[in-house]
Amino acid sequence: MRITRRTMLGLGMGIAAGTALAGLPGGRPSLAASFLQLLAADRCLDAAVWRARIDEWQSLGVDTLYLQWLGLDGLDLLTSGPDGPGAAALLEACAAAGMRVHLGLEHRPAEDAGLLSGSGRLAAALAERRAASLVLAEKALALAKPGLLAGWYLPLELNDLQLGDAALRALLADHVATSAAALWQLTPDLPVTASTFPSRDAAPEPFAAMLAAVWPQDRRFVFLLQDGVGAGLHTPASILPLAAAVDRLAHRRGQRWGLIIEVFTQVSGPPISDGAFAAKPAPIERIRAQLAVADRFPRAERVAFAIPHYMATAAGSAAAALAAGYRDALILPGLDAP
């Protein structure tokens, strides 16, 4: 069946999700991958609930998920427990829906926040994190169905303020390389990905040089550059030269990279304020401008942060409205007219 705008609307977004991609230019829509942050409360969700949510994400063209972490400050979010089935139910739903998944490992936000403090115990803390991550990775491999895993994600967001310190940069480079090597022992063919973001004052070439120092020279390693637009660190215009520098670096080294498109607008929390993090869905026109930047880099993967949290019905009315606006503006126009 040839998919048209009218066909997609008639079938309904859940049914149309798996077929509409064939009608889009290039075969994939603007945002075909998205992050998902798991919280402790998500452990109670069963596969049926996840499948309903996945259907909506797929209606927006998402075919790949980056689960940002499977462990949060020592809490195992993957396996079942007294409060529910854990993320194992999500993996089951993803496999049933044909969604591919990059699995994030142990995340320790308090440690990350203290990276600039010069703690003498940092090397030991990172080693403990690697050990916890490897346990999670082995559990995930035992649960994952064939074809589900797209790769691994290291939930450690590196920035130029950290990387400007030579000693810390060396420590982080060792952590990234050692983590990747351990994961390649388990799955030699799967990529390992990490992310980075530039501060407001980052200069393109120095930023790329610092990134090169911690970016393992292996084709299986990928860095994702956060555009920082949602967090107020950058505008589409100011992130462009930084993205160009990362693109040149990746091209010289024959490696892949990606651009994280922030589909939220932060309203509280660092670097905006000292309060807790809070954000709302971004306006569609700003997302268009961010995607125009991404269009300049056809070699880069585009990853949304994050459709499940800011562009989906389960995230509230404003997120549902953004999902509808995105579908109308950037999905349906790519389909053949009736």
Q: What CATH number should be reported for the domain holding residue 217?
A: 3.20.20.80
Average pLDDT score over residue span 164-168: 91
Using DSSP's 3-state secondary structure scheme, residue 258 falls into strand
The CA-CA-CA angle for residues 255, 261, 263, to 5°, reads 165
Tally of domains within the chain: 1
Domain that holds residue 261: 5-334
For 251-268, how does the pLDDT look when each residue is reduced to its tens digit (9 = 90+)?
A: 999 999 999 999 999 999
| Predicted model pTM | 0.91
Q: What mean pLDDT is reported for the chain? A: 89
**The predicted structure's pLDDT at residue 276:** 87
State which amino acid sits at residue 240. Answer: L
pLDDT at 28: 63
What is the number of alpha carbons within 13 Å of residue 323 lying toward its C-beta? 25
The better pLDDT of the pair 105, 277 is held by: 105
Least confident of 79-83, 102-106, 151-155, 265-269: 79-83
Cβ atoms within 10 A of the Cβ of 26, count? 10
CB-based contact 131:95 (threshold 8 Å): no
> 323, 60 in Cβ contact below 8 A?
yes
- Is the pLDDT score of 137 beyond 60? yes
pLDDT, residue 196, reads: 97
- Residue 9, Cβ density class (10 Å: 0-12 exposed, 13-18 middle, ≥19 buried): middle
Q: Higher confidence at residue 44 or residue 338?
A: 44
